[in-house]
Chain A
């Protein structure tokens, strides 16, 4: 079960924060900072997994952005690692070579993409074709 999804840049600026658990605002801020601290010190020789409080963070870095998913310790690491990649490929397709600025200016659309692929902390849809088709349809609506 996913507890939260974070997209942060190397400087620690949050580009997306999606919470699947109740946290108050201060706690969210603390989590964001902690995740940034544990993830940015790691390099390519490290695993893509970090123990985090009573959970674990599965993360992957794309250019200057860290995509982090916090899941339960018993969850399948590789499934979520590729879940991230699947999500990134969808963003890339949707925004035509996605870059950090796309996520800034279209933050409200990123939430839509997330909800198509992940809901209630679970993987909702994994087919890139189906997700993009749905996004295209929504895009056409006013």
Chain B
């Protein structure tokens, strides 16, 4: 066997290297190098022609100096000269220098190419290989131009030596990668594919890399490689451990070639030819079987080589995703590895199982390993293994195990490495959203996330929780209560303050009934965080404050005080200053009505792809989440958001940018495309109306002089997002009804009505064209309702007419008057209509609102129910426990009572229940019912003809398991129809 002594052949080089190694300091080294460089330069410049040996020695020294990290600016010519030497050792140093110090000097390249050309045609296999290696190492375009035509010829020629073929194949691969346009395989294709049959395994090993790359680019032309690869693989797999002699590695026959063959097959679908496929399946089964056999050697090299093939085979099985038997066997095999003492195997098993989890055939099999994977997450020493465990938990998560997995990931987050926290946070947030069955769990999870890893919670995560809370009535009270509690912590993360500020600003009223979270307590709590927060958060808090003024008029003086102080109104940050000034002004000059309009609850966000999912995709690259996520998205249909949330729903995504809450964007939605309040400045805008205090149809001229108004004017740009669909090309636009008769009420109109039993403001209806917002107020037996019709398109609505009808006996019970509305609604504009309502006597049905208009020529005709129910005319009545039960007993005739026992539709949250009961319009009587869990209310319904007293009792069985929680609702009233009607209305609310 060859043994090489130190620097044999070039004594001078060895001496020089020793000198350098003996240098005590960097300076000494530089000095020595400079001395050597001067020496070499003088030799090269000297008159005496250097012999090949000296040239080789000096070029080699220069190379060594370069590799030490010093610049070399001469010697290239001498290196090129070496290329034409007849001596291998000189040629080799020349090529090495060229390969390491590539120079784009075109003059030199021409000389180099010339030398390569000579060597390629020399028929000396050693020289040919040197030349081919140089091309493969440099791989420049010039070389491709010069040799891309020649190399395929060398590769397939019958008389080419095996070692040259190996080099030619990979050299060609290199050129194909750098300049695919110059490598034309055409006539060579078939002969190259047949290299898979070459009897020299080294040639196959090299050629298969080329074939794999070419197959990826031109699968059709190279598809004959499949059957050749299968038979080659079959021969290797079935050979005894010593058959392949030179190519057996630690008793494993040709492990690298096997892996490459299996990799090549992954460029193609399963073979169509039954015989080929059968043979391949047999190979895969043999490989799986071998994994169960006792090892032929205890050396790690043996098991690694064997497992390299096994993992590649499993990758192919997963790629095919069509053989349930093999998939499950693969999963079982990986399951064994999960507990293996080799960390490498545990890691690779976790990684490979991640892809298995997305196959429908093996998803369940993967899930059985959940405990092992959780254990890995907790106990693995190597962070990259824990990371894989987390990935796998994410991949195997579905509705059946989501709570467990999310809990484990959350607890892992507390100690997780910084490097993976952000990704973990995203994953927890996505799983929580995707598999949330009850929203309180979702809210708890996200708030925990912020508490545990606030720094890693990206904007997308907290935007998303707000989007969901805004869109889901049933979680708002719980969210308000939960953020309120979370904010109690002395040190809470700024992201928590953002979420808290936003949610309390919108829904603080839902928990204001409790004196522990009264409006002022809420405000003080938020404001106690203010000074520790960054500018964007402060800006958000200021917006929350102005919303408080609307929600809780009693906080107005306190908040105005805060806004007025110098640190706000003269803040050096222009955004904060502007907000303080404008909000202060708004709160002082605007009437309650105006405030209520400007500061009303945010309209629901358009349904769309989860912003955090998008973020994870971006973070991990498109491949990382795609298959599985899209699959899941289809299967689950976006748990929290109904079927509307689909990755790739482009119209929805288009609309999304405008309304994503962002700390510096306007919280009130006035600058965004939030449809209720957005209108181009040209239209009779809501803002102009309310500030002029004029009638709804009389925009006040000159209002724009006010800087405040200008600021709040919505820009037109964002209104484009929903306008992409022209008339007629949208299949989701409402069907145009030809008849001029009012359409029958929409099927969902009752459901829409239910939304407004306990609240007066919100979005009544929305489709592709139109959004209808509603805001109403009631005093005694009178009510006033404002309807806001928003044209979501860019095209005007013509002949816009609305009518209200009171069918049947309702005509004599309710008096409804409609103020006229402009028949033309411009694209993007919003018009307001006022409806006056008088309650003559008790009633049950709701009036019908019919809307007709023409959009792009097509008549639109839709009918909704006006959100007016009998409870709107409640006057709350406070009374003592004694009085309550006395009256309760008085109303004891059977027809005076209505009772319903029903399942809870939402989480039983005391604060939410209270808020809803208050929203009903009755007084919520504290300490009246002996059972503190029960709620009792009292109120008097005011009609023109009479007053009707009502008592209400709501008994939850809060102790029951979620899912089995029930309510008993009892209403007693002096008029039987009222108890019955209220009972119906209320039973839908809890």
Contacts and interface: CB of A to CB of B under 8 A. Distances in A.
Q: Decide whether A and B are members of one complex.
A: yes
A132 B2 CA distance: 8
Contacts of B249: 82, 86, 126
B718 interface: no
Contact of B385 (A47, A122, A128, A129): A47
Contacts of A83: 256
Contacts of B133: 115, 119
Nearest to B178: A22
B585 to A, nearest CB: 53
Contacts of B384: 46-47, 49-51
Contacts of A141: 87-89, 126
Nearest to B134: A115
Nearest to B259: A79
Contact of B174 (A77, A86, A120, A142): A120
Contacts of B259: 76, 79
B87 A142 contact: yes
B559 to A, nearest CB: 50
A82 B305 contact: yes
B183 to A, nearest CB: 13
B69 A29 contact: yes
A130 interface: yes
Nearest to A101: B6
Contacts of B201: 127
Contact of B344 (A49, A105, A112): A49
Interface in A80-122: 81-83, 85-86, 93-96, 101-102, 104-109, 111-112, 115, 119-122
Interface in B11-57: 14, 17, 21
Given A76-B312, A122-B170, A102 B4 contact: yes
B255 A120 contact: no
Interface in B183-230: 201-202, 205-206, 209
Contacts of B96: 108, 111
Contacts of B257: 126
B247 A127 contact: yes
A46 B63 contact: no
Interface residues of A, number: 56
A16 to B, nearest CB: 9
B344 A77 contact: yes
A128 to B, nearest CB: 8
A48 interface: yes
Interface residues of B, number: 65
Contacts of A102: 4, 6
A31 interface: no
Nearest to B257: A126
A37 interface: no
Contacts of B99: 111
A141 B294 CA distance: 46
A107 B62 CA distance: 13
Contacts of A53: none
A76 to B, nearest CB: 5
Contacts of A48: 344
B163 A134 contact: yes
Interface string A36-56: 000000100111111100000
Given A76-B312, A86-B249, A119 B301 contact: no
Contact of B382 (A45, A79, A132): A45
A98 to B, nearest CB: 10
A32 B6 CA distance: 26
Interface string B878-910: 000000000000000000000000000000000
Contacts of B206: 119, 122-125
A65 interface: no
A92 to B, nearest CB: 10
Given A78-B308, A138-B126, A122 B166 contact: no
Contacts of A108: 60, 63, 92-93, 96
B381 A45 contact: yes
Contacts of B126: 137-138, 141
A120 B173 contact: yes
Nearest to A137: B126
Given A85-B301, A104-B17, A124 B4 contact: no
Contact of A82 (B6, B7, B21, B308): B308
Interface of A: 14, 17, 29, 42, 45-51, 76-79, 81-83, 85-86, 93-96, 101-102, 104-109, 111-112, 115, 119-130, 132, 134-139, 141-142
10 contacts: A47-B347, A49-B384, A78-B304, A95-B3, A105-B6, A115-B133, A120-B139, A124-B166, A126-B256, A129-B246
Given A82-B255, A119-B174, A139-B2, 14 more contacts: A46-B343, A77-B311, A94-B4, A95-B3, A95-B4, A106-B7, A119-B166, A119-B167, A120-B171, A126-B205, A126-B249, A126-B257, A129-B246, A141-B88
